C-alpha cells in the first residue's frame, strides 16, 4: 500500500476517488429509494452530449456536461409532467437524442481520439490538480445541500402526499434532487466513466438497503460501500494493470453479491 501511495498521481486518485464515493454513496440512497435507476442511467449517458459540446466549443467538457445534464434532467421532468408522456419514454427520448448529438459533435471535433476515451470509461489516474479542487468543491456543495434538505428529500421520497400536507414543495424538492443527481453524475464521470456511472449510483444504495435499519444507517452503509469499492478497485487496478473504472464497479458488484448471500443466509 505504501508503494501505491508513493506516487503523486495515485495519491490524487485515492483522494478524489474517496470524495466522489461519498457523493455517490449519499445520492445512491435516494436513487434506490425513489426507484430512479433508469433516470440516473439516462442522465449519465446524456452527459456524453454535454462532453461533446465542450469539445466542439473549446469549453471545459466538465462544465458543459454539468449544465447539459441539469437541462436534460429538468427536460425529463417537464416533458413527463406536462407532455402527457411517460417518464421512461421521455428518458429514452433525451437519452437517444443526447447520444446522437454527442456522436455528431464529436465527429466534427479533432480532439476525440485523445480525450474522449477518458470520459467514456473513466481516467482517474489522469486527474489534474484543478479537477481535485473542483471535486472537493462540488462534494462540499452536494453533501451540504442534501443534508440541509434531508428531511424534505426523505419525506417526498417516502410519501409525496404527506409531504404536501406538511407544507413541503414537492416539485421544488424533486427538481433540487434532479440537479444534485446531475452534478453527482458529472463529477463521477472522470472516475468510472459515463458508461459505468449509473452502476456507482445504484450498487452502494442497493447494498445498504439489504441491511438498512433507518435512513442514517443506510446513508452511512452506502457511503462505506462506495468508499471501500473505490479504494479496493484502485488497488486491484494498480496491482493487475486493469482499467480503474471497471475495477471499481466490479468490486462494488462483488460486495453487493456477497452482501446478498449473507442476507439470504441470515
Q: How confident is the model over 137-161, as a mean pLDDT?
A: 90
Please identify which residue in the block is written with the cell numbers 439470504.
264
CA distance 151 to 146: 9
- Domains of the chain: total: 1
Residue 114 has a pLDDT of 52
Q: Tens of pLDDT along 196-235?
A: 888 889 999 999 999 888 899 999 999 999 999 999 999 9
Residue 190 has pLDDT above 70, yes or no: yes
Range of 202's domain? 2-265
Task: Show Cβ contacts of residue 87 under 8 Å, excluding neighbours closer than 6 positions.
Answer: 39, 76, 80
Predicted pLDDT of residue 23 = 92
| 156 CB-near residues (< 8 Å, 6+ apart) | 163, 168, 170, 173, 174
- CATH number for the domain spanning 106: value is 1.10.3470.10
| pLDDT on residue 220 | 94
Distance between CA atoms of 175 and 147, rounded to whole angstroms?
A: 16
Note the pLDDT of residue 1.
Answer: 60
Distance between CA atoms of residues 191 and 205, nearest Å: 18
Q: Model confidence at 180, in pLDDT bands (50, 70, 90)? A: very high
Q: Which of 82-91, 116-125, 133-142, 251-260 has the highest mean predicted lDDT (pLDDT)?
A: 251-260
| Interval 243-266 mean pLDDT | 89
The model's pTM: 0.88
Mean of all residue pLDDT scores within the chain: 86
What is the pLDDT at residue 148? Answer: 93
pLDDT tens, position by position, 255-265: 999 999 988 87
Compute the distance between CA of residue 256 and CA of residue 203 in angstroms, rounded to an integer.
Answer: 7
Amino acid at each position: 500500500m505504501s508503494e501505491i501511495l508513493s506516487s503523486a498521481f495515485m495519491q490524487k486518485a485515492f483522494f478524489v476517488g474517496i470524495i466522489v464515493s461519498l457523493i455517490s454513496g449519499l445520492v445512491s440512497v435516494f436513487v434506490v429509494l425513489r426507484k430512479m435507476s433508469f433516470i440516473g442511467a439516462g442522465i449519465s449517458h446524456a452527459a456524453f452530449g454535454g462532453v461533446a459540446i465542450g469539445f466542439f466549443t473549446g469549453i471545459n467538457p466538465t462544465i458543459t456536461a454539468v449544465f447539459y445534464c441539469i437541462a436534460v434532467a429538468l427536460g425529463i421532468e417537464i416533458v413527463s409532467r406536462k407532455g402527457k408522456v411517460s417518464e421512461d419514454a421521455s428518458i429514452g427520448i433525451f437519452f437517444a437524442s443526447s447520444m446522437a448529438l454527442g456522436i455528431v459533435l464529436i465527429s466534427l471535433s479533432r480532439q476525440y481520439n485523445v480525450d474522449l476515451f477518458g470520459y467514456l470509461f473513466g481516467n482517474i489516474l489522469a486527474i489534474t490538480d484543478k479537477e481535485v479542487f473542483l471535486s472537493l468543491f462540488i462534494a462540499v456543495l452536494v453533501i451540504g445541500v442534501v443534508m440541509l434538505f434531508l428531511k424534505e428529500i426523505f419525506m417526498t421520497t417516502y410519501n409525496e402526499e404527506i409531504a404536501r400536507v406538511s407544507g413541503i414543495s414537492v416539485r421544488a424538492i424533486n427538481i433540487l434532487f434532479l440537479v444534485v443527481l446531475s452534478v453527482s453524475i458529472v463529477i463521477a464521470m472522470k472516475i468510472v466513466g459515463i458508461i459505468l456511472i449509473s452502476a456507482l449510483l445504484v450498487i452502494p444504495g442497493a447494498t445498504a438497503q439489504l441491511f438498512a435499519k433507518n435512513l442514517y444507517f443506510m446513508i452511512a452503509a452506502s457511503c462505506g460501500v462506495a468508499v471501500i469499492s473505490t479504494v479496493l478497485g484502485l488497488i486491484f487496478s494498480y496491482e493487475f494493470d486493469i482499467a480503474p473504472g471497471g475495477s471499481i464497479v466490479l468490486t462494488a458488484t462483488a460486495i453487493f453479491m456477497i452482501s446478498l448471500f449473507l442476507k439470504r443466509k441470515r
